[in-house]
Amino acid sequence: MFNNRMRQSVLVLFSAFLLVLLSACSSDQGEQDPSPTASATPAQASPNEAEGNSGNGSTYTVDEQPGTVFYEIFVRAFYDTDGDGIGDLNGVTAKLDYLQELGIGGIWLMPINSSPSYHGYDVTDYYGINPEYGTMDDFKRLLDEAHKRDIKIVMDLVVNHSSSEHPWFKDAIANTDSPYRSWYSILPADESVRTDNAAGSGSPWHTAGSSKYLGIFWGGMPDLNFDEPKVREELINIGRYWLEQGVDGFRLDAAKHIYGDFSSTVNTKEVQAANKAWWQEFRRGLNEVNPNAYLIGEVWDSTAVIGPYFDQALNSAFNFDLAGRLLGAASGESDPDLGYSLGRVHAFYEQSSGGAFLDAPFLSNHDQNRVMTVLNGNADHAKMAAAMLLTLPGTPYLYYGEEIGMKGAKPDEYIREPMLWYADPAGGEGQTTWESSRHNTGADAVSVEAQQQDEQSLLNHYRKLIGWRNAEPALQNGAIGEYKLDAANSKLSLYVRAVKDDRVLVVHNLSGELQQAELKTSSDYGEFAKLIHATSGEASLEGGKLRLPPYSTVIIR
């Protein structure tokens, strides 16, 4: 699935409509920044992938992306198998059946390397497994059992910085003649330097004796120096090592901060080019071991900044812009015009990537307040946010507990609370207790056990939507396209998903009232006449008249 032809772009038929649009905007293309906000060009096929077709008068562009659903796990909080209250790798293995039943095809494990912190984003041994989480044998068993179920395993890899407890750094800071001195940015304490921090507030420099060192996130996380060739070589070796153990790829932490250390320079062309060159080198090195290795980067920025990373550097990147828009659409009960806006983003990504990118939509992750908290506990809104997420192109990522509506607000520990498996607040076998929960406690707290028994639960809503996605290639892998009603209705969100030989119309009623619409034959996609999936038995489509009950989603072919 993660091959280098991750995205195929096939122009089925170039219609007069598209030609008119293209010629209309070709005159002012020359001086525009090729960003999604500036580009007015509809998705175009890569020349080497374009195919003619069929001649029924309708036309659409097919930008396929293999759209497996991924699930992010904080191992410490997930499931405990040895009774110490700390989640472990055997606990992830124990819950693979749960995840398979949910319908996911990939797992992102937050850091599992040795680390002095609870979260693991400061590594002391890049070749080791955190002993609290288990052993290499445990990890290999997890890989085997996941692969048996067609579930990929992706590891968090934290290379911007090591831990200050890493032997490299301890030697580098203690000895001016250390071979590791050049692996970090270490200067005399009184040297004048730039102090604007790209990753947060406060100076990124930290004093140690008569020296100071760069650590943009925290003093416990000294930044590695990527101008040192030995650093680049070692980090590629680390990536290769884990691929050889059987992992399918990496989630690359802080990918834009490799060179982006200072707020005044983080988005300069020079810094972006240096970051991209590093990730290209990293990918080439990894592909020598596994040509299908999957690299998804955390480039926490706009899609305009993300695009260039698809040029032979990252395979995929999280769509941070989209997360806020989806939650805003759900809470505001208003159409975010996904067909138009995402179509433009994907056209830009195609230009940036040469036709091989993979978008990664999500609602929230371990660095953000949880969905149910952002949506003020509104379960209808949570269902609609999930319904949009799970019907979009690319690989949707779920954050553990999101599928049952766990709550959580910063500080970070409290968006990473123990996964709740049991209806009984006293818990049960495997329940983690790594911290006391603030947001998911008491008799009214959600749980997997309670929601499994409730047909209308959020968990069963997620299962249903993922099941549709896995059953319909157009919904799983298809491009996104626009569908416009004659009578605009901002309570309805409509978009088309299309593979080469099929297309479906997705319609969400984001509101709490019944909505009706008259479906017309689309000049691009033809007629949509048959309701094939619906979240509500009350939804109907007869003679082009669509009736959608409150907070419902339908798929129409």
Nearest to Ca ion of 84, 150 (CB atom): 84
Q: How far is the CB of 204 from Ca ion (least distance, A)?
A: 9
Which phi and psi (to 5°) does residue 471 adopt? -90, -20
Which segments of 138-208 are extended strands (E)? 152-157, 186-188, 205-208
Separation of alpha carbons 258 and 300, rounded Å: 13
> How many other C-beta atoms can be found within 10 angstroms of the C-beta atom of residue 409?
13
| Identity at 436, one-letter amino acid code | S
Separation of alpha carbons 59 and 454, rounded Å: 43
Q: How far is the CB of 160 from Ca ion (least distance, A)?
A: 5
Q: How far is the CB of 259 from Ca ion (least distance, A)?
A: 6
Which region, judged by CB under 5 A, interacts with Ca ion, from 101-109, 250-258, 314-322, 472-480?
250-258
For residue 102, give the nearest of 541, 556, 452, 502 by alpha carbon.
452
Nearest to Ca ion of 185, 493 (CB atom): 185
Quick check: 161 and 77 in contact, CB under 8 A? no
Nearest to Ca ion of 58, 431 (CB atom): 431
Nearest to Ca ion of 62, 77 (CB atom): 77
Q: Does 298 bind Ca ion (CB under 5 A)?
A: no
Q: How far is the CB of 372 from Ca ion (least distance, A)?
A: 27
Beta-carbon-side half-sphere exposure of residue 204 (alpha carbons within 13 Å): 25
Q: How far is the CB of 183 from Ca ion (least distance, A)?
A: 12
Could you give the string, one character per residue 159-188, with x where binding to Ca ion holds by CB under 5 A and - elsewhere? -x----------------------------
3-state SS, one letter per residue, for 40-73? CCCCCCCHHHCCCCCCCCCCCEEEECCCCCEEEE
Which region, judged by CB under 5 A, interacts with Ca ion, from 98-106, 116-124, 216-224, 336-344?
216-224
Q: Does 88 bind Ca ion (CB under 5 A)?
A: yes
Q: Does 86 bind Ca ion (CB under 5 A)?
A: yes
Q: How far is the CB of 214 from Ca ion (least distance, A)?
A: 7
Which region, judged by CB under 5 A, interacts with Ca ion, from 254-262, 280-288, 348-356, 398-406?
254-262
Q: Does 233 bind Ca ion (CB under 5 A)?
A: no
Sign of the torsion angle spanned by Cα atoms 369, 374, 380, 385 = negative
Q: How far is the CB of 260 from Ca ion (least distance, A)?
A: 7
Nearest to Ca ion of 88, 472 (CB atom): 88
Quick check: 348 and 303 in contact, CB under 8 A? yes
**By CB under 5 A, how many residues form the interface with Ca ion?**
9
Which region, judged by CB under 5 A, interacts with Ca ion, from 84-92, 120-128, 184-192, 297-305?
84-92
CA-to-CA separations, 434 to 116, 128, 132, 437, in angstroms, rounded: 15, 21, 11, 9
Question: In sequence order, which residues have a C-beta less than 8 Å from that of residue 195 and are 6 or more positions away?
Answer: 203, 204, 205
Quick check: 85 and 433 in contact, CB under 8 A? yes
Could you give the string, one character per residue 259-278, with x where binding to Ca ion holds by CB under 5 A and - elsewhere? --x-----------------
Q: How far is the CB of 413 from Ca ion (least distance, A)?
A: 18
Nearest to Ca ion of 223, 333 (CB atom): 223
CA-to-CA separations, 325 to 59, 294, 319, 361, 495, in angstroms, rounded: 29, 26, 10, 11, 15
Nearest to Ca ion of 70, 133 (CB atom): 133
Q: How far is the CB of 403 from Ca ion (least distance, A)?
A: 23
Which region, judged by CB under 5 A, interacts with Ca ion, from 158-166, 205-213, 241-249, 450-458?
158-166
Which region, judged by CB under 5 A, interacts with Ca ion, from 41-49, 83-91, 135-143, 474-482?
83-91
Quick check: 358 and 316 in contact, CB under 8 A? yes
Contact with Ca ion (CB under 5 A) among 84, 150, 196, 513: 84
The per-residue b/e assignment along 99-117, b for 16 or more CB within 10 angstroms, e otherwise, is beebbbbbbbbbbbbbbee
Separation of alpha carbons 439 and 34, rounded Å: 43
User: Is residue 455 exposed (0-12), middle (13-18) or buried (19+ Cβ within 10 Å)?
Assistant: exposed
Which region, judged by CB under 5 A, interacts with Ca ion, from 60-68, 156-164, 197-205, 233-241?
156-164
Nearest to Ca ion of 223, 524 (CB atom): 223
Tally of residues, the chain: 557
Contact with Ca ion (CB under 5 A) among 223, 253, 359, 482: 223
Nearest to Ca ion of 28, 82 (CB atom): 82
Chain CA centroid to CA 552, Å? 25
Q: Does 138 bind Ca ion (CB under 5 A)?
A: no
Separation of alpha carbons 504 and 506, rounded Å: 6
Q: Does 80 bind Ca ion (CB under 5 A)?
A: yes
Separation of alpha carbons 368 and 186, rounded Å: 32
Nearest to Ca ion of 84, 513 (CB atom): 84
| Active centre residues (catalytic) | 253, 298
> CA torsion angle for 478, 484, 489, 492 (degrees, to 10)?
-10
Beta strand 186-188 pairing with 211-214: antiparallel
For residue 161, give the nearest of 219, 122, 206 by alpha carbon.
122
Could you give the string, one character per residue 453-492, with x where binding to Ca ion holds by CB under 5 A and - elsewhere? ----------------------------------------
Q: How far is the CB of 80 from Ca ion (least distance, A)?
A: 4
Residues at the contact surface with Ca ion, assessed by CB under 5 A: 80, 82, 84, 86, 88, 160, 223, 257, 261
